[in-house]
């Protein structure tokens, strides 16, 4: 496992917060990735900002990984089928919860949204339970 580096975590958090703030200030939109991707696949010309944000997100991660990371990010040992099923479950959950961790966690909590607080607490509780079950009960 990669060692935690607080400097890159701090810089990454500042970049995420800054981009979410700028998107809200200049575009009046929330930087929730599930809603952004959902809106981007409509291919409307007025939705080009969504594609720019998504490309910037992927490009920024690639730039860090291949240009600045001190060591490569560890790869996953999960089976592709499990990853695809997990992806569909996450997509279903984001629709059910009216947003994802980025929309509720980064933007919603910053706007002091009670609904986002409940969503984030639900995300965290589910993550804790999942880790406990997979590490101590089912031992995958």
Kindly report, residue by residue over 54-102, the tens digit of the pLDDT. 899 899 889 988 998 888 888 878 788 988 898 888 888 887 778 787 7
* Long-range contacts of 126-134, Cβ-Cβ distance < 8 Å, separation of 24 or more: none
What is the residue extent of each domain of the chain? 6-137
Q: What's the rounded Cα separation, in Å, for the pair 28 and 41?
A: 20
Q: What's the rounded Cα separation, in Å, for the pair 91 and 34?
A: 8
Structure tokens at 29: 């939109």
How many contiguous H segments (helices) and E segments (strands) does the chain have?
Answer: 7, 0
pTM: 0.69
DSSP 25: H
pLDDT digits (tens, 9 = 90+) for 92-139: 888 777 878 778 888 888 889 999 899 899 889 988 998 999 889 987
* Cα angle 76, 78, 79; round to 5: 130
């Amino acid at each position: 496992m990669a060692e935690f580096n607080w400097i890159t975590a701090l810089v990454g958090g500042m970049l995420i917060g800054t981009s979410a703030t700028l998107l809200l200030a200049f575009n009046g939109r929330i930087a929730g990735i599930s809603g952004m991707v959902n809106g981007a696949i409509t291919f409307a010309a007025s939705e080009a900002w969504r594609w720019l944000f998504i490309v910037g997100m992927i490009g920024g991660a690639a730039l860090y990984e291949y240009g600045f990371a001190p060591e490569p990010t560890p790869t996953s040992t999960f089976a592709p089928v499990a990853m695809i099923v997990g992806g569909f479950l996450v997509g279903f959950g984001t629709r059910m919860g009216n947003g994802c961790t980025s929309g509720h966690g980064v933007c919603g909590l910053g706007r002091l949204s009670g609904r986002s607080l409940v969503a984030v607490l639900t995300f965290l509780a589910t993550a804790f339970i999942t880790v406990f079950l997979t590490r101590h009960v089912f031992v995958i």
